[in-house]
């Protein structure tokens, strides 16, 4: 599969890095010579220097044979133009990154597909959507929608008041009498474990569940969490992400948004209803105390600086804020920030990459998770496969992988041991990288 990525920033590089692992032929177009050189050395992919809206540059990248053209520069109009020209020159499918919510809201009316843009992606808006899910169920460290409103991936940290501590998974299985959720992975001391019956759950573990809609509450019950009601939300940083959070959530929560730049702050204040705006530095302890940070149920820090975001969240935790979410673009900081006590991380690049994976590259890697090594993959069971009509416990499935959910005829199911796979089921598999090949072979 030939994929061309037109980018000028982190999203482009990150996508290239991820896709490189999976596919053969990636070409990255970028305007910055030195950055391209780094990528070329590190990833060994083809690069083209220049403006992606140029006919010559696109041809040079081989657009006429491309299966997919992804335009993710920070300039929306560049992305749209790139896709339009690329499609004209022969790219089979195109994705454009956009900043303007209008395009997403009126997606069907505008019908950009007609023009040559097959899919729109807005990392900021995806991040805002993630925040929305997280605020709805604040005890979760992570929520990820696998299939419509039917299957969710969720992460929960085990804290000292949980009854399941020091019990093996098998022992706690009596609590799992229903088939609405299951544990698919455990993150302990930076290591990812795939659960087996005799594995004990320890305090501080981060448990990953897959659950149906009804199962979401059961997961909380299982881990001994009491639901928290979020009402007052402090958003730090008026970046695009902050703006979308304010726009999307303004009507549901009391939101106060802190932004350093007065001009930006004024601009946001003029356009976003139902939100208080404060001009000031989100890393300024005095200011946050003056704004009564301890009165907030949740603090979401989405400034351009990961360090500021982590710091603000730690400060908030210290003041007794129940839920803190930090935007961390530097993936190297994931483990440390989680260890230090930030509840939840969001990452625009990963949100965008996950989106691209899910919507365009069906049947492959579905999603990356924060700080965890395993990946969720999606497979479709074939008619003539040897695994059809067998219950899962008889399958002899690879050890470091787990079948965690199935979509059958438009409905999601949790796959406990007695579940039998049928042809045309969509199967979600959770696996460690070393078992990836085995898993793929299994479904061939």
Partner 1 sequence: MNLIQNTKFDTFKMIFKQIGGLLIILGYTMVVPLLVSLLYSEFYSALGFLISGLISYLIGFFLNKTIQIAKVPLNRHALIIAAMGWLSIAIMGALPFFIIAYITPVEIAQQFVPSLADYQSSIFYFKNPLHALFESMSGFTTTGLTMAVHEPSIGKGLIFYRCFSQWIGGAGFIVLALAVLNQSSGKIAFLLYGAESSGERLRPTIIETARSIWKIYLVLTLFSFVYLVIGTYFILPEYNLLDNIFDSINHAMTGQSTGGFSTLDDSIAGYNSKAMDMLYLLPMVLGALSLPFYFKVFYEKQIKQFYKNLQTRSIIITCIFGGIILSFLLLKSGVISEPFRVGIFQFISALTTTGWQTSDVHIWDAASVTFIVMGAMIVGGAAGATVGGIKIIRILLIFKGLFWHINNYFSSENSIKVVKFNEKRLLPDEMNRELAVAATFSFIYLVFVLTSTFITYYFMGTEYSITDALFESASAQGTVGLSCGITNPEMSPVLEITYIIQMWAGRLEIIPILILFRTVFLGTNPKVV
d(CA 267, CA 323): 28
How near is the Cβ of 282 to partner 1 at its closest, in Å? Answer: 12
Contact code string over 257-276 relative to partner 1, x by CB under 8 A: --------xx--xxx-x--x
- Give the DSSP per-residue string, 69-80: EEE--S-HHHHH
SS3 assignment, position 307: helix
Instruction: Tell me whether strands 401-408 and 298-301 are parallel, antiparallel or unpaired.
Output: unpaired
SS3 assignment, position 109: helix
Q: Report the residue number, 264 or 317, with the smaller CB distance to partner 1.
A: 264
Site size for partner 1, by CB under 8 A?
15
Range 230-259, binding partner 1 (CB under 8 A): 256
- Backbone angles phi and psi of 47, in degrees to 5: -135, 150
DSSP strand E in 161-274: where?
A: 181-188, 191-193, 206-212, 232-236, 254-259
Q: Report the residue number, 156 or 269, with the smaller CB distance to partner 1.
A: 269
Q: Which of 14, 103, 277, 442 binds partner 1 (CB under 8 A)?
A: 277
CB neighbour list of residue 61: distance below 8 Å, 6 or more residues apart? 4, 27, 29, 46, 48
How near is the Cβ of 261 to partner 1 at its closest, in Å? Answer: 12
Piece of the chain touching partner 1 by CB under 8 A; list 6-14, 119-127, 210-218, 277-285: 277-285
Task: Enter the tokens of residue 165.
Answer: 């501590």
Bridge partners (DSSP) of residue 4 are 27, 69
Range 280-299, binding partner 1 (CB under 8 A): 280, 287, 290-291
Q: Report the residue number, 105 or 262, with the smaller CB distance to partner 1.
A: 262
Please report the sign of the dihedral spanned by the C-alpha atoms of residue 365, residue 368, residue 373, residue 375.
Answer: negative
Q: Report the residue number, 90 or 280, with the smaller CB distance to partner 1.
A: 280
Instruction: Tell me whether strands 151-157 and 191-193 are parallel, antiparallel or unpaired.
Output: unpaired
Q: Find the length of the chain.
A: 444
How near is the Cβ of 269 to partner 1 at its closest, in Å? Answer: 4
Q: Report the residue number, 11 or 316, with the smaller CB distance to partner 1.
A: 316
Q: Report the residue number, 10 or 291, with the smaller CB distance to partner 1.
A: 291
d(CA 145, CA 157): 19
Q: What is the dihedral of CA 335, 337, 340, 341, to 10 degrees?
A: -110
Q: Report the residue number, 273 or 410, with the smaller CB distance to partner 1.
A: 273
Contact code string over 43-82 relative to partner 1, x by CB under 8 A: ----------------------------------------
How near is the Cβ of 325 to partner 1 at its closest, in Å? Answer: 22
Distances (CA, A) of 7 to 11, 85, 400: 7, 15, 35
Q: Report the residue number, 22 or 290, with the smaller CB distance to partner 1.
A: 290
How near is the Cβ of 103 to partner 1 at its closest, in Å? Answer: 23
Q: Which of 279, 314, 395, 416 binds partner 1 (CB under 8 A)?
A: 279
Residue ranges in contact with partner 1 by CB under 8 A = 256, 265-266, 269-271, 273, 276-280, 287, 290-291
């Amino acid at each position: 599969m030939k994929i061309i990525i037109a980018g000028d920033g982190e999203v482009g590089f990150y996508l290239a890095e991820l896709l490189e692992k999976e596919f053969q032929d990636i070409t990255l177009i970028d305007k910055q010579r030195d950055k391209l050189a780094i990528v070329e050395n590190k990833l060994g992919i083809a690069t083209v220097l220049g403006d992606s809206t140029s006919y010559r540059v696109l041809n040079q990248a081989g657009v006429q044979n491309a299966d997919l053209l992804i335009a993710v520069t920070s300039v929306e109009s560049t992305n749209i133009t790139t896709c339009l020209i690329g499609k004209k020159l022969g790219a089979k499918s195109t994705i454009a990154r956009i900043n303007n919510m209008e395009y997403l809201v009126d997606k069907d009316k505008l019908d950009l597909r007609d023009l040559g843009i097959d899919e729109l992606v807005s990392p900021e808006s995806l991040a805002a959507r993630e925040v929305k899910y997280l605020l709805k169920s604040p005890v979760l460290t992570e929520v990820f929608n696998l299939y419509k409103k039917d299957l969710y991936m969720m992460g929960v940290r085990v804290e000292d008041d949980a009854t399941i501590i020091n019990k093996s998974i098998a022992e706690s299985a009596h609590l799992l009498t229903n088939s609405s959720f299951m544990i698919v992975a455990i993150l302990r001391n930076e290591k990812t474990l795939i659960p087996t019956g005799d594995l004990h759950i320890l305090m501080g573990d981060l448990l990953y569940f897959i659950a149906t809609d009804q199962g979401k509450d059961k997961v909380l019950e299982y881990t001994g969490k009491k639901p928290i009601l979020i009402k007052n939300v402090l958003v730090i940083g008026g970046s695009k992400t902050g703006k979308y959070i304010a726009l999307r959530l303004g009507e549901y929560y009391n939101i106060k948004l802190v932004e350093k730049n007065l001009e930006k702050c004024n601009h946001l204040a003029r356009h976003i209803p139902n939100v208080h705006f404060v001009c000031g530095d989100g890393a300024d302890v005095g200011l946050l105390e003056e704004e009564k940070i301890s009165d907030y149920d949740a603090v979401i820090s989405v400034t351009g600086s990961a360090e500021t975001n982590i710091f603000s969240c730690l400060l908030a935790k210290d003041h007794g804020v129940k839920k803190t979410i930090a935007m961390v673009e530097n993936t190297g900081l994931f483990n440390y920030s989680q260890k230090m006590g930030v509840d939840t991380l969001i990452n625009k690049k990963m949100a965008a990459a996950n989106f691209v994976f899910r919507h365009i590259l069906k049947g492959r890697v579905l999603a990356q998770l924060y700080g965890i090594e395993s990946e969720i993959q999606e497979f479709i069971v074939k008619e003539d496969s040897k695994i059809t009509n067998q219950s899962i416990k008889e399958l002899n499935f690879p050890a470091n992988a787990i079948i965690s959910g199935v979509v059958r005829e438009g409905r999601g199911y949790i796959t406990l041991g007695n579940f039998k796979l049928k042809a045309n089921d969509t199967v979600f598999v959770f696996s460690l990288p070393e078992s990836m090949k085995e898993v793929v072979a299994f479904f061939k």
